[in-house]
Structure 1
Amino acid sequence: MGAGDKIGNKAKEATGKVKEKVGDATDNESLQAEGLKDQAVAKAKQAGEHLKDAAKDVTGK
């Protein structure tokens, strides 16, 4: 996984956490859901990148 991908995914996850917390604080269910979605997307991308890294380690390519 490239450093840019890692940073981007972590930034997306952090943004999602902020949206979720703001949604909680303002009782805005839509913003809260959007934050949860952003976090899930970022975590899925991170998992996919980890799988690619593991495959490269196994194959050596």
Structure 2
Amino acid sequence: MGIGDKIQNEAEDLGGKAKEATGNATDNDRLKAEGQKDQVVADAKKVGEDVKDTFKKD
């Protein structure tokens, strides 16, 4: 797992949080849901990377 991938996933997570916050502030349910989806995708990628890292260590 490269550091670039980790940075990209963290940026995606932060972008999702920003979208969700903007959706909350503007009462835009679509934007809020899109932000939540982005966060879930980023979290799933992080889990996949952690699994890869674990197998590489063994």
For this structure pair, what is the TM-score category when the shorter chain's length is used for normalisation? over 0.9
Task: Indicate the residue corresponding to 1:2 in structure 2.
Answer: 2
State how far apart, in whole Å, the 2-side matches of 1:7 and 1:53 are. 15
Query: C-alpha root-mean-square deviation of aligned residues, in Å?
Result: 0.4
User: After superposition, what is the alpha-carbon deviation per residue over 1:25-58, rounded to whole angstroms, capped at 9, x for unaligned?
Assistant: 0000000000000000001001000000000111
Relative to the length of structure 2, the TM-score reads 0.98
**Equivalent runs, 1:34-53 vs 2, <5 Å:** 34-53=34-53
Aligned-pair identity in percent equals 57
Relative to the length of structure 1, the TM-score reads 0.93
Following TM superposition, where does structure 1 have runs of at least 4 consecutive aligned residues deviating by more than 2 angstroms?
A: none
Which blocks of at least 5 consecutive residues in structure 1 are unaligned?
none
Which blocks of at least 5 consecutive residues in structure 2 are unaligned?
none
Deviation at 1:14, TM superposition (A): 0.2
Matched length:
58
Structure with larger Rg: 1
State how far apart, in whole Å, the 1-side matches of 2:29 and 2:17 are. 14
